[in-house]
Structure formats: structure tokens, C-alpha cells
């Protein structure tokens, strides 16, 4: 039985052992990057025998490179999964696989606050696309869905006409399957629905994916957009507005603005599709009040 799986088997078939065992597209992308990086590093070391000690050495190297604990832990999770799948498929000695699976992650102190937009910044971002062009109409609709409904970029890219329905007299994104295969229904604000209608009417599309590539000449090009293309739209207009935010910050901004507007945590949790309200609390950072912080009431000058 071989213990050097990168020697015996080409990289992508080995990586596919892990990817085929995952259901989340987001996890597949993250694990694929992590495993390709690890197997490249393994090859640079001369393809030594895979072991717990080797993976721990890789962990130290990742930490020395200054990667955040969450990044290191994600990469270790991918490697542990690889060891389990390789062991189950006869590519790695089960004893070595179990040893690798016991490699501990990096402890993370505190909770990252993340990034979000104020109401004024969010409005400025929404108003930034040039709606005299087809691309501008599409981009405004994308920003409206991200900010107005709190969708992930991958969920936004897969949004179809069938998802947009009426329930209890209002527009909703119905039965959207998100992370962890959790299905949820998300209320949509009227201004977001209007932005989508303006785009789809101008683009003359009535079925299938809502968001699609637009050719440089100004015509619809293709039947879909990738999650990365959605992220690129946010990056483009955030840069134009001088804002340091990424696609996932749109989702966080939705939650923050909704909470400040008086929405209940349980309702925000349902819209975001979090598995527990505790996750939503951490996501919002509600345990740390940055508007009226302890330092603001010290009475000192």
C-alpha cells in the first residue's frame, strides 16, 4: 500500500476524492485551492511519506507565512479530509490517515468584526452603476439583490426567474438552496425587485438565470454569470466609490442595516440562512457595540 499518494496518483484525481464527497460548491472551491497548494508543497519537499509530522510541519510553515488562523484551519480541514478519503480508498495506510486526521487546528483569539457599509455608503454604492447602459442596469440589480436580500455571491449567480414569486402579497426569493443544502425563502424589498425588472426587461430575458454576462459591445453574452463575476461587480463599484468592501460584505451590510432598523435577530437569521441564532449574533457583532462603546462613557476629556 502506497503512502505517497501524490506519486502514485495524479493531483486532480486525488483532489477529486475529496471534492466528490462535498455538497457545498463554496467548500469545493476552498478545498480544491487548499489541496492543490498542499500537494505542490509536498512535491517541493521531495514527496516524503505522508504523516502527521509532515502535516504539522506544513501547519507551522503556514503560520510562519502570516496566514490568519481561520485560513490555516480551513487548509488543515481539507488535508484531514484528504487523509480520510485516501485511507478509505486504499491510497494511504489507515494508521497514517488517522494520525493526520488528529492534527489540531490553530486557536483563534477573539472574533473578527468584519466589514460593512453604513446606510449612506450602501445607497451611494447602489446609485453608482450607469443605468443608461445594459451592463449598468444589470450591475445595479446585482447590488440591489446582494444588499436588499443578503444573498451570497454564489446564490446570486444561480438566481432564476422561478425563484422570484409572490407570497403573502409581497415578492420573495422562494425555496433558494444555500450553504449546507439549507432551503430558505427570503423577502425582497420592492426597490430590489424594480431593479431586477429594469434589467430583465432591457435584456429581454424571461426565463432561466436572471444574471448573465454582458458583452463589451453592450449585448447579453451567455446564459449565466459565475460567482466570481458577481464578486467582480462589487469590487468595481466599491473601488469607484472609494469603499473597502467585498461581495460578502454586502451580506453583512444587509444584516447590520436590518438590525439597526429594528428587525429581529430571528428574522435576520432566517433571511441569511444561518443554522443558529448564535451564528447570526457573531456575524452581526451584536455583542460589541461600536456605536456606544464603553470608552464613550468614561467621562474623561
CA distances to 18, 57, 200, 300 from 79, rounded to whole Å, are: 9, 13, 43, 52
User: Terminus-to-terminus CA distance in the chain, angstroms?
Assistant: 72
Domain locations in the chain? 5-101, 119-284
Tell the CATH superfamily of the 119-284 domain: Intergrase catalytic core (1.10.443.10)
51 pLDDT exceeds 80? yes
* 93-110 core/surface letters (b: 16 or more CB in 10 A; e: else): beebbebbbebeeeeeee
pLDDT tens, position by position, 113-145: 458 899 999 999 999 999 999 999 999 999 999
Entry pTM: 0.66
Q: Do domains 5-101 and 119-284 have the same CATH topology?
A: no
What pLDDT digit, counting tens, does each position of 62-98 carry?
Answer: 988 888 888 899 999 999 999 998 888 888 899 999 9
If pLDDT is split at 50, 70 and 90, which confidence band does 3 have? very low
Confidence of residue 297 (pLDDT cuts 50, 70, 90): low
Q: At what angle do helices 119-126 and 247-260 cross, to 10 degrees?
A: 130
In this model, does residue 61 exceed pLDDT 60? yes
Contacts of 153 (CB under 8 A, 6+ apart): 146, 227, 228, 230, 231, 234, 247, 248
Residues 235, 241, 242: CA angle, nearest 5 degrees = 85
Whether residue 23 is predicted with pLDDT greater than 80 in this model: the reply is no
Measure the CA–CA gap between 35 and 40, rounded to whole angstroms. 8
CATH class assigned to 5-101: mainly alpha
Decide if pLDDT at 40 tops 70: yes
Cα–Cα dist 50/94, whole Å: 12
How does pLDDT run across 94-117, given as a tens digit for each residue?
A: 999 999 999 998 886 554 545 889
pLDDT, position 278: 77
48 pLDDT exceeds 60? yes
Amino acid at each position: 500500500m502506497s503512502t505517497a499518494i501524490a506519486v502514485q496518483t495524479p493531483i486532480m484525481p486525488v483532489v477529486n476524492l475529496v471534492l466528490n464527497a462535498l455538497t457545498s460548491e463554496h467548500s469545493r472551491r476552498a478545498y480544491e485551492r487548499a489541496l492543490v497548494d498542499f500537494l505542490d508543497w509536498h512535491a517541493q519537499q521531495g514527496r516524503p511519506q505522508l504523516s502527521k509530522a509532515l502535516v504539522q510541519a506544513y501547519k507551522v510553515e503556514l503560520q510562519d507565512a502570516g496566514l490568519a488562523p481561520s485560513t490555516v484551519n480551513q487548509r488543515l480541514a481539507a488535508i484531514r479530509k484528504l487523509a480520510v478519503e485516501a485511507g478509505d480508498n486504499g491510497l494511504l495506510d489507515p494508521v497514517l490517515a488517522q494520525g493526520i486526521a488528529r492534527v489540531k487546528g490553530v486557536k483563534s483569539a477573539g472574533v473578527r468584526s468584519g466589514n460593512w457599509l453604513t446606510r449612506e455608503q450602501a445607497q451611494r454604492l447602489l446609485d453608482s452603476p450607469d443605468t443608461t447602459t445594459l451592463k449598468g442596469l444589470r450591475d445595479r440589480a446585482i447590488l440591489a439583490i446582494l444588499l436588499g436580500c443578503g444573498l451570497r455571491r454564489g446564490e446570486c449567480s444561480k438566481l432564476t426567474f422561478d425563484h422570484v414569486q409572490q407570497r403573502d402579497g409581497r415578492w420573495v426569493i422562494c425555496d433558494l438552496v444555500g450553504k449546507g443544502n439549507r432551503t430558505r425563502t427570503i423577502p425582497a424589498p420592492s426597490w430590489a425587485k424594480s431593479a431586477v425588472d429594469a434589467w430583465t426587461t432591457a435584456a429581454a430575458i424571461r426565463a432561466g438565470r436572471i444574471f448573465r454576462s454582458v458583452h463589451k459591445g453592450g449585448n447579453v453574452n451567455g446564459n449565466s454569470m459565475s460567482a466570481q463575476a458577481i464578486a467582480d461587480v462589487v469590487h468595481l463599484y466599491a473601488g469607484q466609490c472609494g469603499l473597502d468592501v467585498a461581495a460578502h460584505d454586502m451580506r453583512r451590510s444587509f444584516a447590520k442595516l436590518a438590525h439597526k432598523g429594528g428587525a429581529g435577530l430571528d428574522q435576520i437569521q432566517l433571511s441569511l440562512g444561518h443554522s443558529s441564532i448564535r451564528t447570526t449574533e457573531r456575524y452581526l457583532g451584536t455583542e460589541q457595540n461600536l456605536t456606544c462603546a464603553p470608552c464613550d462613557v468614561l467621562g474623561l476629556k
